[in-house]
Amino acid sequence: MRGKLLVFFLLISTITWSQNGRVLKGKVVANSKDLQGINIRNLSSKREALSSEEGFFSIKAKPGDTLLFTAVQLKSKKTVVEKEDFDYLPFVVKMELMVTQLKEVVIKESVSAESLGIVPKGMKTYTPAERRLYTATTGSGFVSVDAIINAISGRTSMIKKEIVVEKHQTAQRKLGNMFDGDFLIKEFNIQKEYIDGFIVYASENPKVKQALKEKNKTLVTFLLGELATEYNKFFANAK
């Protein structure tokens, strides 16, 4: 008789637990330091709870209930509670960070230190070689002993040559960005193996440099056409 009563009470307890549920203790795991305030909603019973700073939470549930986890910085997640989830504590729920893809931003104006207000408008800018020359000569506003030593040692002359090379390289880079190899081959009949040489040749032309400085692509194209004729004629005569 006593055994039957024990079985009866266990059955009643199981039925009651299945109907009313019990507290489920869990922890949210995510690649984020901010795990506080994650909303946990039992969609079956409409009960709600919030996670702690470490991601721990407690909510009343029963097997078969669906829990919804939501947070601003995390992707929403639904999970169905199983009977075993009450046995292995804490009940771990993995969530992923919310990745917001920005719309394409088109910048219509060039961004520079001047446009951002970092330097005054119209202020002269220097290339690295020009800054070295400025420092090596009269950077402080008067002819220093260093400037005299640099002039005697030839360092000043060397830096001036670096500036010339630097300007050629800048022009070459601008030409390469403005016109690709296929365009030069198609429009100016430049042979593929001579494209790099043509860019170097054109970058040393004063008129091309000035047109590049003024960002006048139409004029640069016209000048390249003239230079290409001379360039191709040179290789034709060399054969």
- Looking up residue 85, the CATH number of its domain turns out to be 2.60.40.4130
Beta bridge partners of 147: none
The boundaries of the domain holding residue 163 are: 128-238
Which amino acid, residue 125?
Answer: T
Say whether both 141 and 45 belong to one domain: no
At 228 the pLDDT is 85
Max mean pLDDT among 13-27, 66-80, 119-133 falls in 66-80
Share the mean pLDDT of the chain: 75
Say whether both 132 and 206 belong to one domain: yes
Q: Is the pLDDT of residue 51 over 50?
A: yes
Q: Is the pLDDT of residue 183 over 70?
A: yes
Say whether both 139 and 233 belong to one domain: yes
As a whole number of angstroms, the distance between CA 181 and CA 127 comes to 27
In a domain, 101, yes or no: no
Residue 10 tokens read as 């266990």
In a domain, 171, yes or no: yes
Predicted TM-score of the model (pTM) = 0.39
Say how far residue 157 (Cα) sits from the centre of its chain: 41
Which amino acid, residue 211?
Answer: A
At 179 the pLDDT is 83
User: Which range has the worst mean pLDDT, 17-21, 138-142, 215-219?
Assistant: 138-142
In a domain, 203, yes or no: yes
Say whether both 146 and 226 belong to one domain: yes
Say whether both 142 and 229 belong to one domain: yes
Residue at a domain's end among 94, 109, 140: 94
Give 63's pLDDT tier (boundaries 50, 70, 90). Answer: very high
In a domain, 173, yes or no: yes
Give 172's pLDDT tier (boundaries 50, 70, 90). Answer: confident
Residue at a domain's end among 72, 94, 116: 94
In a domain, 142, yes or no: yes
Residue at a domain's end among 76, 94, 112: 94
Q: Is the pLDDT of residue 229 over 80?
A: yes
Number of domains in the chain: 2
φ, ψ of residue 2 to 5 degrees: the values are -65, -40
Q: Please, where are the H alpha helices in the chain? A: 2-20, 128-136, 145-153, 155-178, 181-188, 195-203, 206-213, 217-238
What is the mean predicted confidence (pLDDT) over 58-76? 93
Say whether both 138 and 216 belong to one domain: yes
Whether the link from the prior residue into 206 is cis, omega within 30° of 0, is no
Residue 211 tokens read as 């047109």
Give 93's pLDDT tier (boundaries 50, 70, 90). Answer: very high
What is the mean predicted confidence (pLDDT) over 146-170? 57
In a domain, 105, yes or no: no
Write 181-187 long-range contacts (CB < 8 A, 24+): 184/224, 184/228, 187/221, 187/225
Q: Is the pLDDT of residue 21 over 50?
A: yes
Q: Is the pLDDT of residue 134 over 60?
A: no
In a domain, 17, yes or no: no
At 157 the pLDDT is 61
Say whether both 145 and 228 belong to one domain: yes
Say whether both 62 and 136 belong to one domain: no
What is the mean predicted confidence (pLDDT) over 10-14? 50
